[in-house]
Amino acid sequence: MNLKNASVLVVDDDTDVLTAVKMLLKTEVKDITTEKNPENIRSLFAEKKFDLMLLDMNFNSSINTGNEGIFWLKKVKEMNKDMAVIMITAYGDIDLAVRSLKEGATDFIVKPWHNERLVSTITEILKKKAGGVPAAKATNDSVIGSQLLGSSEVMQEIFYKIEKIGPTDANVLILGENGTGKELVAQAIHQKSVRAKNTFVKVDVGALTDSLFESELFGHKKGAFTDAREDRMGRFEAANGGTLFLDEIGNISLQQQAKLLTVLQNRKIIRLGSNELVPVDIRLVCATNLPLSELANESRFRKDLVYRINTVEITLPPLRRRKEDIIMLANHYAKIYADKYIKPVPVFDAACREKLLQYHFPGNVRELQYCIERAVIMMEGEQLKAADIIFSPLETVRTSDDEEGDLKLSNLEKNTILKVIEKHNGNISRAAKELGITRTALYRRLSKYEI
């Protein structure tokens, strides 16, 4: 369908959002209808035929009245199962928005959106709905699909998050164990951003001593210290206009955190040995292998800095939690190293595949990569057998007691959530308050435990 012939309905209780969308689309579509009250959706459907709908994720009314995005999405799908619905969400509700896709949403957009991207998204959806071919997306040199791989549901959700938050300028915190691919996610976010043509600068801040921290990040003037033989630009300036990736952010000292927070708040740096304020324009992406609970410990990490770096959070799962991706990744690395070492691309026999699937991979994807590289180097013939797969002795073996402990903790958390929700008669806001977590965090746990 041509965008000019489309009739669009926008339902959001924020007048500013309705005005912004109407101003954007009034010259792009045939007809646009705006509505603040979702209770009126049914009567609007009875009066007029709509080709596409934009629906808010969060309405201001109480949760137990049902006036929430997913509730109304389900109602819309009951009224018209073929209706194309784009959910409107804020940064903090991205996990919930991803869940909405499972409930039948076609797509979602993150506030504040880029106008061109919203129009493009609507155009592609209408083309697809009409049986046309969606506009092609740029895939040249994309990390996703070439290095960051996964067909599992959890990885698909992460790819979708990257697609949605990439074009924004939101600060992103990437969580995950060592070897899960946090740097690749950071690169993918940069590639999807409006800064993609500018620099991506990585700094392993966890490896910097206090004496090097300021010089490395903020730069220095000649003579600022003994070895400062010339002026040197810091990483913040080097990343100006692009993306700055601070890896192992959880390992920096409280003193370093204070200095970093000041720069992030002011968006200006001062080189060592200088008094001149230099403005910097960067998109910040951080990563750590620490769980968020440890970052929330104020004796270890400043809470105001956590809020500053964690506008959006992406948690990468360990490989043992996405076993359906193991063989695909093994084949991927087998081809890479067969080409590198000029050998035939190996085939994994059944016993070899089973051995890979049964292993817990404490070193995650990185350990799998090195394991396959070694197997390809040492292989005889064109087939890899179970004996060819030798796991790293450097990694700590996870015991069954650890797994059992995780299971007990998960069951305890699930049962606690169920009791508190039941106590408050399904009122999510009150339940979240009693549990001491945000409503969004509670929604994540509801999705995790399929409650």
Q: Residue 375 falls within a domain, yes or no? A: yes
d(CA 383, CA 347): 5
Residue 376 inside a domain? The answer is yes
Q: Are residues 74 and 113 in the same domain?
A: yes
> 279: pLDDT confidence band, cut at 50, 70 and 90?
very high
In a domain, 207, yes or no: yes
Strands (E), 258-328: 268-270, 277-279, 283-288, 312-315
Q: What CATH number corresponds to the domain at position 102?
A: 3.40.50.2300
Mean pLDDT in residue range 40-65: 82
231, 253: one domain:
yes
Q: Across residues 215-229, what is the average pLDDT?
A: 83
Q: How many angstroms separate the CA atoms of 236 and 216, rounded?
A: 9
Residue 65 lies in a domain: yes
Among 114, 129, 144, residue at a domain's last position: 129
- Does 375 share its domain with 414? no
Q: Which residue did the predictor score with more confidence, 58 or 313? A: 313
190 lies in the same domain as 294: yes
CATH code for the domain in which residue 436 is found: 1.10.10.60
> Considering the chain, what is the average pLDDT of its residues?
86
What per-residue confidence (pLDDT) applies to 116? 83
**Within-domain flag for 262:** yes
Look up the domain containing 338 and give its range.
319-388
347 within some domain = yes
Q: Give just the sign of the alpha carbon dihedral 70, 71, 75, 78.
A: positive
| Residue that wins the pLDDT comparison between 115 and 282 | 282
Q: Among the three residues 296, 315, 334, which one is the final residue of a domain in this structure?
A: 315
Residue 288: what pLDDT? 95
351 lies in the same domain as 286: no
Beta bridge partners of 313: 173
Regarding whether 196 and 308 lie in a shared domain, the answer is yes
The predicted pLDDT at position 3 comes to: 84
Domain count, the chain: 4
Q: Report if residue 395 sits inside a domain.
A: no
Confidence (pLDDT) at 134: 40
Model-level pTM? 0.67
- Same-domain pairing of 222 and 202: yes
Both 301 and 214 in one domain: the answer is yes
| pLDDT given at position 422 | 81
Final residue in a domain of this structure, among 315, 340, 356: 315
Does 65 share its domain with 214? Answer: no
Asked whether the predicted pLDDT for residue 108 surpasses 50, the reply is: yes
Query: Has residue 339 got a pLDDT over 80?
Result: yes
Task: Verify that 290 and 178 share a domain, yes or no.
Answer: yes
Tens digit of pLDDT for each residue in 94-106?
777 777 887 888 8
Q: Are residues 372 and 405 in the same domain?
A: no
Residues 202 and 310 in one domain: yes
For residues 308 and 264, what is the distance between their CA atoms, to the nearest angstrom? 8
Q: What percent of the chain has pLDDT over 70?
A: 91
Beta carbons within 8 Å of 358's beta carbon, 6+ residues apart: none
pLDDT at 132 over 70: no
Pick the most confident of 118-132, 152-166, 416-430. Answer: 152-166
Better-scored residue on pLDDT, 121 or 346: 346
